[in-house]
Structure 1
Amino acid sequence: MNTVLRPALAWLGLCVLLLASPARAANLPDFSTLVTEYGPAVVNISSESKPVPSQAARPTLPFQLPEGPDGPDSAPLNEFFRHFFGEQGEMPALPSESLGSGFIISADGYLLTNHHVVKDADKIMVRLSNRSELPAKLVGSDERSDIALLKVEPKNGPLPTVRIGDPARLKVGEWVLAIGSPFGFDHSVTAGIVSAKGRALPRDTYVPFIQTDVAINPGNSGGPLFNMDGEVVGINSQIYSRTGGFMGLSFAVPIDVAMDVVAQLKTDGKVTRGWLGVLIQDVTRELAESFGMPQPHGALVARVLPDGPAAKAGIEAGDIILRFNGEDIVYSSDLPPRVGRTAVGRKVPADILRAGKPRTVQLLVAALPAEAQDKPAKATPARASADRIGLLVADITAQQRKQRGLDKGGVLVQRVDAGVALEAGVQRGDIILSVNSESVDDAADFKRQIGRLPAGKVARLLVQRGDNPLWLALRVPK
């Protein structure tokens, strides 16, 4: 290459880099305006509960305090020991404190936070961005959605507020911003993108969470999740972590779910949700094959609770709910939040698949009752019978049947050997209720049903594990 051209080309390349850098930077979001405009509506929330005395919390002295010449209090070191150990193991009662975030939704002082931030609180204080503090009153809270509504009385005119957005318009991959008080650091701003929508978490089946990679840590709970238009689209509520700190998986309650809770708390003082009275699970690839479905989708009914809306509509265990009130059910987790937000007393259609044939039923949605507190009972072996899939099963005694809440039928799994049942997830102590949706009467009936299964085909077992029913799919050996 010509030596004269080399410096010219190098200079040209440098110019391209210098021009490209601002262009790339221009594509990155700037959150400064959003924070300036809506940051003042974000608050720090501290709560305090009454102390609970504990006699066993502090260890007792391993020796008797010596007496001085003028009694026990005159011994030189007794005051030192009492300072650190207390009086004969008595533990001074200390109040329990909690720290979180929140945001103001109305200028007259209504604000939102998480239920777990103010749970069992006797005193709630709200600190504004200007460092002024206001006592807050708990209007109401809902543990299932982890939403709490608070009220403060403004002292110096209307309070700054946020704008409420529409989570339905939120797109996976778009930028979002969180403002909160992680570890007590007020008004910390973190940003990321929407990782997924409609996430179901264990024990939170009525909330279709927004998953983000925004850095959320203890103290962020209850703070707002903003979109780029400055609208609140969610309430930061949970993180997934193996260490207790942020690991890139944060979950926010959609703001429309929260505002529905707010409306009910203001008018009724409590939250009512729709309920069908079914226990459901996902349709796996193997289960879909056993039902003759081209691909897995829908919510598989594992149990129909007696006297519930589903039972009255004729829903049966083994039915697959494909659509509810005109909306497709892709995953089983899609169903509970949609049912929960359906008005109690409303009749809605549900498309189901039963024995490979579609049908439509009308469901009269009822109110979600209080959760049952029953504990699973242990069963003991009875008469046993071996079968071709690696299981040893036994008849169920009358006492065991009563303990498990079973009316009739079923066999108890006593042993799981190497084989297709083990691979399918069958466990010792499971109760097998049906094979390919055909009820199992006893051990002998179970052995007959397994014996006539076609080799190489997928069969499904309905088992009860503790109090929970579960469908399992296994491929019959050739």
Structure 2
Amino acid sequence: MRLHRPLLALAIALLAGCAQPTGGFQRDGFAVAMGRALPFAVGVYGVAAAEPVAEGAAQGEAERGEPPMPYARVGAGFMIDNEGHVVTAAHVVTDTDEVLVKLADQRVLPATLVGADTDLDIALLRIASPGPVAPPLGRATQLRPGHWVLSVGEPYGLNRSVAAGIVGGTDRHFSDDPELLYLQTDIALNPGNSGGPLINAQGEIVGMNIRTVVGAYGTPGVSLSIPIEIVLSIAAEMRSGGSIARPRLGAEFDDVTPQQAIASGRGTTQGSVVRTVRRGSQAERMGLKPDDVIVAMNDKPIGSSADLARILLGWRQTAGTKLVVLRGGVVLTLKLD
């Protein structure tokens, strides 16, 4: 069948339109959206006097009369206000002799480490270069699976490298990170991306890129970012006190599996099951035990491990803390005095 020329032109136009993803993706790709956030993305370098090297290599340098070369952990970061505050990944800047920040205009400035939360891997820096305007900060809570997102960083030292992907999930929780939630994306994060901004299709910063979970045998995994709401909350506490006096529950917990739901006779996966309890921890003091299912904390219902992690992120006062748990079909209330 032959299409008449007008119909052929119409078909081509329709196909071209279908090929364009919506939600901020225009003829120029994400260039317009990137233009909003890119000026606030920075490179971050945690500099130390010398890189730890093998003993033989150090001896070789000494014999040749070569001084040990300074090295830097390369990461990324972004401004959170127009007062010179920058956030980045804590592992990039802790245990270093100096922190440097490279701005969009290629200036390199020394930075002061205001505070760092190594458990959450969030650090707050201050540079003597306040911006003229505040950065475009969005809301991670508005992200949904399938939304387009972008990253900016220094992967392998490639200056201000941009990558794109989609949101794969929100409120992701892992038992080995008891008090943290993540955004899941399929963006390719590499060494040098840690601490950089996650950006939505409107050019708003919605998270901090932190790491990639690699699958078995090195297969590509999922990339994880900390929601901007958590980053800003922790940064605000660092600005006021320099450190976070957050109590730790001392327990690893996870979602209830369908098998566990059936085995317990409940027929529902609501709640968060305790995996391990650390000796001497607050959890042990309360009497929490492995296989307990936590269904409420301080009168707030727990539907999943993400709910429990979210509550623990804001937990500051231990006295009077109350957990409602299911243990062997019995409902128990555990308290901290």
Q: TM-score range by the shorter chain?
A: 0.7 to 0.9
Instruction: Tell me how large the CA RMSD over aligned residues is.
Output: 3.3
Moved more, 310-319 or 285-294: 310-319
Distance 1:182 1:102, change over 3 A: same
Q: Who is 2:10 aligned against?
A: 16
1:136 CA displacement: 1.1
Corresponding residue to 2:203 among 230, 237, 243? 230
1:285 CA displacement: 3.8
For structure 2, list consecutive stretches of 5 or more residues without a partner in the other structure.
Answer: none
Aligned-partner residue type, residue 109 of structure 1: G
Contact 1:38 1:161 in 2 (8 A): no
For structure 1, list consecutive stretches of 5 or more residues without a partner in the other structure.
Answer: 1-5, 61-84, 366-478
For the residue of structure 1 that corresponds to 2:179, the secondary structure is strand
Aligned-partner residue type, residue 294 of structure 1: G
Q: Who is 1:182 aligned against?
A: 155
What's the CA shift string for 1:169-200, capped at 9, x where partnerless?
Answer: 22122111212222222222222111011223
Contact 2:114 2:126 in 1 (8 A): yes
Q: Who is 2:41 aligned against?
A: 42
Q: Who is 2:84 aligned against?
A: 109
Q: Is 1:289 matched with 2:262?
A: yes
For the residue of structure 2 that corresponds to 1:206, the secondary structure is coil
Identity across the alignment (%): 30
Q: What is the correspondence of 1:317-356 to structure 2 with a 5 Å cutoff?
A: 317-332=290-305, 334-345=307-318, 347-356=320-329
Q: Who is 1:399 aligned against?
A: none
Taking the aligned partners of 1:284 and 1:53, their CA distance within structure 2 comes to 44
Taking the aligned partners of 2:143 and 2:230, their CA distance within structure 1 comes to 14
Q: Who is 1:127 aligned against?
A: 102
Corresponding residue to 2:69 among 94, 103, 119? 94
Contact 2:173 2:305 in 1 (8 A): no
Contact 1:177 1:189 in 2 (8 A): yes
Q: Is 1:217 matched with 2:165?
A: no
Contact 2:174 2:254 in 1 (8 A): no
Q: Who is 2:236 aligned against?
A: 263
Aligned-partner residue type, residue 20 of structure 1: L
Distance 1:233 1:325, change over 3 A: farther
Q: What is the correspondence of 1:246-261 to structure 2 with a 5 Å cutoff?
A: 247=220, 249-261=222-234
What's the CA shift string for 1:105-149, capped at 9, x where partnerless?
Answer: 121211011112212221222111111221111111111111111
Taking the aligned partners of 1:237 and 1:221, their CA distance within structure 2 comes to 5
Aligned-partner residue type, residue 251 of structure 1: L
Corresponding residue to 1:166 among 117, 130, 139? 139
Corresponding residue to 1:273 among 246, 260, 263? 246
Q: What is the correspondence of 1:434-453 to structure 2 with a 5 Å cutoff?
A: none
Aligned-partner residue type, residue 353 of structure 1: L
Aligned-partner residue type, residue 109 of structure 2: L
Moved more, 190-199 or 21-30: 21-30
Contact 2:37 2:199 in 1 (8 A): no
Taking the aligned partners of 1:55 and 1:279, their CA distance within structure 2 comes to 36
Contact 1:42 1:128 in 2 (8 A): yes
Taking the aligned partners of 2:328 and 2:226, their CA distance within structure 1 comes to 37
Distance 1:120 1:53, change over 3 A: closer
Moved more, 306-315 or 114-123: 306-315
Q: Is 1:144 matched with 2:143?
A: no
Contact 1:183 1:217 in 2 (8 A): yes
Contact 1:106 1:159 in 2 (8 A): no
Aligned-partner residue type, residue 169 of structure 1: Q
Aligned-partner residue type, residue 260 of structure 1: S
Runs of 4 or more above 6 Å deviation: 52-55, 243-246
1:317 CA displacement: 5.0
Taking the aligned partners of 1:252 and 1:275, their CA distance within structure 2 comes to 22
Contact 1:55 1:89 in 2 (8 A): no
Q: Who is 1:241 aligned against?
A: 214
Q: How many residues of Structure 1 are paired with residues of Structure 2 in the alignment?
A: 332
Contact 2:115 2:124 in 1 (8 A): yes
1:211 CA displacement: 0.6
Aligned-partner residue type, residue 91 of structure 2: H
Aligned-partner residue type, residue 150 of structure 1: L
What's the CA shift string for 1:411-455, capped at 9, x where partnerless?
Answer: xxxxxxxxxxxxxxxxxxxxxxxxxxxxxxxxxxxxxxxxxxxxx
Q: Who is 2:273 aligned against?
A: 300
Query: Max radius of gyration: which structure?
Result: 1
For the residue of structure 2 that corresponds to 1:204, the secondary structure is coil
Taking the aligned partners of 1:26 and 1:105, their CA distance within structure 2 comes to 32
Moved more, 292-301 or 120-129: 292-301
For the residue of structure 1 that corresponds to 2:244, the secondary structure is coil
Aligned-partner residue type, residue 118 of structure 1: V
Taking the aligned partners of 1:243 and 1:133, their CA distance within structure 2 comes to 39
Contact 2:175 2:254 in 1 (8 A): no
- Relative to the length of structure 1, the TM-score reads 0.61
Aligned-partner residue type, residue 58 of structure 1: A
Higher relative contact order (CA 8 A, sep 6+): 2
Distance 1:311 1:119, change over 3 A: closer
Distance 1:261 1:88, change over 3 A: same
- Relative to the length of structure 2, the TM-score reads 0.84
